Structure 1
Amino acid sequence: MLLRRMLIMLGAVAVVVLALATYKGLQVQQFSAPQPPISVSAVRSVEVPWQSRLPAIGSLKAFQGVDLTVEASGTVEDVLFLSGEKVKQGQPLIQMDSDVESASLATAEAELALAQVEFQRGRSLVIRQSISKSEFDRLSSELQAATGKVAQLRALLAKKRIAAPFSGTIGIRQVDVGDFLSSGTTIATLQDLNTLFVDFFLPEQSAPLLAVGQKVRVSVAAFPGEYFEGDIAALNPKVEETTRNLQVRAVLPNPDGKLLPGMFANLEVLLPGDQERVVVPESAITYTLYGNSVYVISEWKDAEGQPSKNEDGKPRLVVERRFVETGERRDGQVVVLKGLQANEQVVTSGQLKLDNGSHVAIVPDQTMNKTDNQARLQ
């Protein structure tokens, strides 16, 4: 009886030990089995001609622009322009009441005619010594005074008729017939839109790279995706002390009149000379406080230096985290100055799941495919 119980107990212990051993074996087998590869997207770095550019922001200004004002006070008699129309240089715009000035001018011209007659008579008399030299001088002075008064009144009369100082597009009128205008009142704005200036600032470190005649490329929010080209026209001869920036002015043709003064402009100064640069998508760069890095994909090799393959016969791929020095970024691309060679395969998505030496599998980038499809539809 006792022997039977011992045998049952030993059998139960053997079953438990066997179960534990089987469970442990399964665990070891599970952890020792190769991990599935991490799916990532990748592209190859390329070496392309890269033109360096200096980005900046600025404002558009008219080549010639002025707010038209009146110099002499008076009442508006006639408005000779329509709001928004194009006007020529010298074209009359506003006629003010000038009856008083015209009457004064007529009186002054009559006095001038009398002074001229008396001056001519005095000249003949002084030759014959019929009048004194001082009397002749008085007649000459009266003639000069009358001449000056006529010129003064003619100038005042001319100020009653306001003309365009240059050709351009006139804005919305600010006055109406019958308005009394005091000196300095604005009647409208006049802008020459055929050519525009774009004023912008660049850091003082950029001064050696700038020169008059360099090309600039401008874009504005009103016309997304469209670029306007111009040339640097002037460099300010001093650096702003408060910002340490240098003011630059470029001239921009505007034959279609699309651009307007006051618009906010994004622009790039095109530096001369193209250089061969290694370029990758911006999504391939991982930015951290310790530096910028990329994950470079390569074939895993065994101890003998032979490439290893997966069960499906394809090369086993692993990643290497490599720190790089980056340069300019533009249109979704970034220049890699150091740490990467051309034609190396880099990860563009899935970096958060990776570590140095991780086993990966390359899959198509769905984001890029979606973007390409949208581009085709547009």
Structure 2
Amino acid sequence: MAKRVILTIVGLMIVISVLAGIKALQIRRMIDNETAFVVPHETVTTAVVRAESWESLLTAVGSLEAVQGVTVAAELPGKVVQVAFDSGTKAEKGELLVRQNTTSERAQLAGAEASVELARLTYNRTADLYKKKTVSKSELDTARANLRQVVAEVDSIRTVIAKKTIRAPFAGRLGIRQVDLGQILSEGDGIVSLQALGPVLVNFLLPQRQVAQITTGTIVRVTADTHPNTVIEGVITAINPEVDAATRNIRVQATVPNPDEMLRPGMYVNVVVVLSVREDVLTIPVTAVLYAPYSDSAFVVESSKNGEKGGTGKVLRQQFVRLGEKRGDYITVLSGLEENEIVVSRGVFKLRNGQAVVVDNTLSPDFNLEPNLENN
């Protein structure tokens, strides 16, 4: 019985030893395979760290205002008998817009003009008689005063007629009509908006610390979301003499052209103020940056010797960087990189430090400081 137990134990030990040997052989084979495995090289596109001179810019959001813009209104009460314009059309200076009823004024004008004619004849006869010493000086003065009085009455009636004949005070674009035929207008009732859409004014605010950097004549560039790829250039024409005590901002006004009436009063626009000084910067594509909460980084492509084969290859070095201003497809690097270093230009999220790579720029995108929908 004891001999049988011993044999059983010996058999179990032999089986365990065989299994352990097989497992050790498998582990050794896996280690050898992993050692022999060569990680395939990642194909990347690259860009050169460039030294450039950028314009110094100030940015703001502005609001557009017409150089001349009013709501044409009635000066006197009256009934509308003629509407001589269509909504949305252009009007020249002095063009008739609305005519109010002036029947009574024209009737009064006819009588007043007859009175003027009579008073002028009376004055002329009195002047002739005064020369012949047949009338006194006071009679001549009375005739002269009567003539002036009736002339003033005629001028007053004509003024009323002119005020009821409403014309465009300047050339511009008319808005939507606010009156109809037969409508009784009161003094001050609006008729139509009239906006001069030649050059337009851009009002915007800048912090007080930047006031010393601008002056009248400083160039501004304006873009609107209605035409995002169109940049309109103008100049600063006025700077408010006082700073807002609540916000410590100063109001600035620029004048910009308005080709094809693209800009309309009341629109908001993006304003870029171009300063006279330029800034020397190092730039890389925005897509070359690996953004992270602890620090941003870029992958620098370096040459590395292949010890086993005696050749050379390309490997990556992850370099932490401090970034600055972004413009278009580029961003400035304040520290961490040197001019002419080569960095991976895109796909950096899938890379790691020390990784072997192959450079292929045949599919490298075009980077632009002023990208638009076409080149983006």
Q: Write the distance in 2 (CA, Å) between the matches of 1:270 and 1:142.
A: 67
Which residue number corresponds to residue 39 of structure 2?
36
What is the rounded CA distance, in whole Å, between the counterparts of 1:251 and 1:310 in structure 2? 69
- After TM superposition, give the deviation of residue 347 of structure 1 in Å: 3.2
Q: What is the distance in 1 between the residues matched to 2:57 and 2:189?
A: 45
TM-score for the superposition, normalised by structure 2: 0.79
Q: Structure 1 residues 354 and 26 mapped into 2: Cα distance closer, same or farther (>3 Å)? A: same
Checking the alignment, whether the CA contact within 8 Å between 2:321 and 2:333 is kept in structure 1 is no
Matches within 5 A, 1:242-321: 242-300=246-304, 307-308=305-306, 313-321=311-319
The answer to whether the 8 Å contact 1:309/1:315 transfers is: no
Corresponding position of 1:203: 207
Q: Indicate how the Cα distance of structure 1 residues 296 and 238 shifts in structure 2: closer, same or farther if over 3 A, else same.
A: farther
User: Over residues 58-93 of structure 1, what are the superposed CA-to-partner deviations in whole Å (9 max), with x where a residue is unaligned?
Assistant: 222222111111111111222223333322212222
Asked whether 1:359 is paired with 2:355, we answer: yes
Separation in structure 2 between the aligned mates of residue 141 and residue 148 of structure 1, nearest angstrom: 11
Structure 2 counterpart of 1:100: 104
What CA distance in whole angstroms lies between the structure 1 residues aligned with 2:160 and 2:299?
Answer: 79
Q: Offset at 1:240?
A: 2.8
Counterpart-to-counterpart distance in 1, 2:58 and 2:41: 39
| Cα separation, 2, equivalents of 1:237 and 1:66 | 26
Contact 1:37/1:359 (CA < 8 Å) preserved in 2?
no
SS at match of 2:313: coil
1:280–1:335: 8 Å Cα contact kept in structure 2? Answer: yes
Q: CA deviation at 1:269?
A: 1.7
Decide whether the 8 Å contact of 1:122 with 1:131 is kept in 2. Answer: no
Deviation digits for residues 158-214 of structure 1 (CA, Å, limit 9, x no counterpart)? 101111111122233222332222211222121211211222223333222212112
Aligned counterpart for 2:221 among listed residues 217, 220, 224: 217
- Aligned in 2, Cα 1:58/1:279: closer, same or farther, shift over 3 Å? same
1:293–1:323 contact (8 Å) kept in structure 2: yes
Q: Percent of pairs identical after alignment?
A: 32
Given that 2:290 and 2:349 are in contact with CA atoms closer than 8 Å, whether structure 1 keeps it comes out as: no
Alpha-carbon distance between aligned partners in 1 of 2:242 and 2:307, rounded to the nearest angstrom: 65
Question: 176, 179, 203: which is aligned to 1:175?
Answer: 179
Count residues in correspondence.
368
Q: Secondary structure at the match of 2:230?
A: coil
Q: Deviations over 1:335-361 (max 9, x none)?
A: 123332121122344444555x43242
1:341/1:235 CA distance change after superposition, 3 Å? same
CA RMSD, aligned part only?
A: 4.0
Provide the rounded CA distance (Å) in 1 between the counterparts of 2:374 and 2:250. 42
The 1:367/1:282 distance shift into structure 2, 3 A limit, reads farther
Note if contact 1:309-1:316 (Cα within 8 Å) is conserved in structure 2.
no
State the 1:55 CA deviation. 2.3
Secondary structure of residue in 1 paired with 2:52: strand
Residue 334 of structure 1 deviates from its aligned partner by 0.8
